[in-house]
Amino acid sequence: MVRRATRRLLEPPETLRRGPFRSGAFTSKLHDARVASWLGLALGVTFTICFATGLLSHLIQHPPSFVTWPSRPAGLYRVTQGLHVTTGLASIPLLLAKLWSVYPHLWTWPPVRDVAHLVERITLLPLVGGSLFLLFTGLANISLWYPWRFFFPAGHYWAAWITIGALIVHVGAKWTVFRTSTARRRVAPDATDVDRRRFLQVIAGVGGLVTLTTVGQTFRPLRRLALLAPRRTDVGPQGFPVNKSAAGAGVLPAAVSPAYRLIVDGNVERPLSLSLADLRALPQREATLPIACVEGWSVSKTWQGVAVRDLLDLAGAPAHAEVVVSSLQERGLYKASVLSAAHAADADTLLALDVEGEELHIDHGYPVRLIGPNRPGVMQTKWVSRLTIS
Ligand SMILES: Nc1nc2c(c(=O)[nH]1)N[C@H]1C(S)=C(S)[C@@H](COP(=O)(O)O)O[C@H]1N2
Ligand SMILES: [Mo]
């Protein structure tokens, strides 16, 4: 009853049916539920992986009390963040193809059939808008281009929740269409089926090509194919990239001053103040660990320096201490990072003085940088000046 009443209320007269609203206004056989369904399935997979790995990265950087991210396996974050950026990039051609295949539905007649249809159509706004926003801001971010005023991680994070919410509604609304249009049919494929298959193959090929030409920024064996990757991982001082230079961070001249001291204080029995020579005189340890930037590039290097845990022992810090690692950098979000108890206790968490046996370049954090296993690049603080123990 209610349904029929709303229907009558909403149904516009047939005379309004003009332009793209005419039946038969769109002629391509590829504007079709089968094509849309298979693309939707592919997007469902890439979006789910991208959302899960993005959420994980967010939780590692802003851990609520119930989350403890382990320090092992050392290269895990490199894999999860590599997947985040790779699935995001692969989603771009998939989404464009999907939008193209379904856009005639914008002019569906009547524009609104009933309340459920209205809700379904309204959720397209956050779904399409959110998806385009996420893929565009993500792509711009990894290209180190920030054509906006808002804070990227917060905007990207909240848009992801909105998009995934709208996606769940969309999957629910389209489930039946998906099931019927992807069901196996007994009839032999006709010319349209062949066209559809070819179109999907081309889109899959484009998605594969995007992946193949970017994943080399984190997956070494494909490094030579990384033609579309915004970062060459072998370019930069000492043969690897720099995101923030010493000049950009404003740490000159403090970083090269002979007055440099590393302070270890807070909840300790013996606060320390160590010169660079003092640090070199302490037992030196070595670890091979990646820098895994949130932007998707990563490089593995062998680092030498003093283990954080040796410094904690020297200062008489309590067991399971958490450590705030601060930089000479005075402004900016990455001037400090937190070492959880697990990371602080890991023998491979170093205050590195050298990389590959060479003194650190100023842009890689001279005189001292943090490098620890299984951490996002943004938490590998450079130009370290203080450890505050709690
Ligand atoms: N003090 C400070 N440390 C920092 C940053 C920063 O901006 N300031 N950037 C971080 C980021 S985003 C990354 S990916 C790594 C990069 O280290 P690299 O320049 O040695 O390659 O350093 C991290 N350490
Ligand atoms: Mo980074």
Sign of CA dihedral 263, 347, 65, 328: positive
Which residue's CA is minimally distant from atom 15 of ligand 1? 377
Query: Which numbered ligand comes closest to the C-alpha of 379?
Result: 1
Among the bound ligands, name the one nearest to the CA of residue 365: 1
Residue 146: the pLDDT is: 84
Nearest CA to ligand 1 atom 23: 378
- Residue 297 alpha carbon, nearest atom of ligand 1: 14
Q: Find the ligand nearest to 383 CA.
A: 1
Instruction: Tell how strand 262-266 and strand 384-389 pair up.
Output: parallel
CATH class of 237-389: alpha beta
* Ligand 1 centroid – CA 245 distance (Å): 8
Residues 111/17, Cβ–Cβ less than 8 Å: no
| Helix (H/G/I), strand (E/B), else coil: 167 | helix
Tell me the residues surrounding ligand 2 (ion) with CB < 5 Å: 243, 293, 377-378
- For ligand 1, the distance from its centroid to the CA atom of residue 379, given in whole angstroms, is 8
Instruction: Compute the distance between CA of residue 205 and CA of residue 212 in angstroms, rounded to an integer.
Output: 10
Q: How many angstroms separate the alpha carbon of residue 298 from the centre of ligand 2?
A: 9
- Could you tell me the distance, in angstroms and rounded to a whole number, from the CA of residue 364 to the centre of ligand 1? 7
Mapped onto helix, strand or coil, the DSSP state of residue 138 is helix
Residues of the chain with pLDDT under 70: 1-10
Nearest to 181 by CA among 42, 23, 40, 45: 40
Q: How far is the CA of 205 from the centre of ligand 2 (A)?
A: 30
Atom of ligand 1 nearest to the CA of 327: 1
If you take atom 10 of ligand 1, which residue's CA is the nearest one? 378
pLDDT number for residue 184: 84
> Are the beta carbons of 215 and 82 closer than 8 angstroms?
yes
State pTM to two decimals. 0.94
Token pair in block for residue 61: 């950087």
Is 187 strand, coil or helix?
coil
Torsion of CA 35, 39, 44, 50, to 10 degrees: -170
- Pocket lined around ligand 1, Cβ cut-off 6 Å: 240-244, 249, 291, 293, 327, 329, 332, 334-335, 364-365, 377-378, 380-383
| Residue 73 backbone zone (phi > 0: left; psi -120 to 50: alpha; other: beta) | beta
> Looking at ligand 1, which atom is closest to the CA of residue 364?
20
Question: How much is the pLDDT for 12?
Answer: 83
pLDDT at 2: 61
Question: Could you count the other beta carbons within 10 Å of the beta carbon of residue 336?
Answer: 17
- 241 alpha carbon, closest ligand: 1
Of 128, 142, 132, 42, whose CA–CA distance to 84 is shortest? 142
Coil, strand or helix at 11: coil
Q: What is the 3 state secondary structure string of 246-294?
A: HHHHCCCCHHHCCCCCEEEEECCCCCEEECHHHHHHCCCEEEEEEEECC
Q: How far is the CA of 302 from the centre of ligand 2 (A)?
A: 18
Q: Structural domain boundaries of the chain?
A: 13-225, 237-389
